[in-house]
Amino acid sequence: MAVLLLTLCACAGSGRTDPDDALGIYVAESAKFLGLKRDIKRVFDFPVMMELKANNEAVFTFDGKEYDLTWSIQKDNTFRAEGGDIKLKGGVSEGVMVLDNMMDSGAYVILRRGTEIPGTPAPAKTFDWWSGDWYGWWKMTNCTGAYEGWQPDRKDALCHVTKTASGLLNVTVWDEETPRENDLAEFDMTVADDGSENGAVTSGRGYFMNQNLKPGELTVTDQCQYADTMLIKGSYSIPNGSFDFVFMLRPWGASWDDAAEEDMPGHYGDWYLPLIERGARIPAVFDLGDAE
């Protein structure tokens, strides 16, 4: 656990963690106590959470009580949160927080950023609809600068969505030119029960191509003219050019027969259907030879 704490404090050698990147709700998931790593429920019989807000404000939930704290990240990347008699110290980086000897308990507690708060779980159907493998296409629009002329270019896209231990949905996207190991995009999504059939999602941190994504920077929705369809929209900008982009995806194995010709994936007939007909799983690399 000391190695993990040092790693977080060093932030993988990348310097001090940007406080804006640390904002969010962290939920305790495990702890090292008496030399053993244990599930948090075996150490504490109540939820342990830390919410880091803007302006160095924090709310720490412990033993059924909420404590208002002030938090900071020191020059050596050490995380501190204090208020009244409470003094907490540890590290925070890339959605993971470690608190050293939390509340004098003798435990090193690991918290992970997420939105599924213990005691108020999101409906299973919400996660089930978004989770799994997806197939479709993506394209660029409103291309400027170096990307002018790329607008008609549309590529088949593949996607995998899975629920994480911290209650997020993790999204990985690759396409016909980019294998999964060098994915085109990866980001987290939070889930909320807004009363709709599939719930509402909000994009979190991640990246598209070589550009980092901030929370809420992408629009992800199931509101489409076609049923069982996920749309992902966003924009990409570098000094010498920019473009907007959209992904249209449907569950792996689903038919696209109801889609208009302009909304069909380019390799639906010569690649996707042959794979589906023989029960193939979504591949990590797009290869037209797989359809032979």
Q: What pTM did the predictor assign?
A: 0.61
- Model confidence at 194, in pLDDT bands (50, 70, 90)? low
Query: Is the domain defined by 2-113 classed in CATH 2.60.40?
Result: no
Question: 124-280 is classed in which CATH architecture?
Answer: Beta Barrel (2.40)
pLDDT digits (tens, 9 = 90+) for 241-286: 999 999 999 999 999 999 999 999 999 999 999 999 999 999 999 9
d(CA 99, CA 109): 5
Q: Is the dihedral of CA 180, 184, 186, 190 positive or negative?
A: negative
Q: Is residue 82 classed exposed, middle or buried when 0-12, 13-18 and 19+ CB atoms within 10 A define those classes?
A: middle
- pLDDT score recorded for residue 130: 92
Q: Which two tokens stand for residue 172?
A: 């990985």
Q: Which residue has the tokens 């969010």?
A: 24
Contacts of residue 200, Cβ cutoff 8 Å, sequence gap at least 6: 191, 192, 193, 194
pLDDT digits (tens, 9 = 90+) for 22-66: 888 888 888 887 777 887 877 877 778 888 888 899 989 888 788
Q: Where are the domains of the chain?
A: 2-113, 124-280
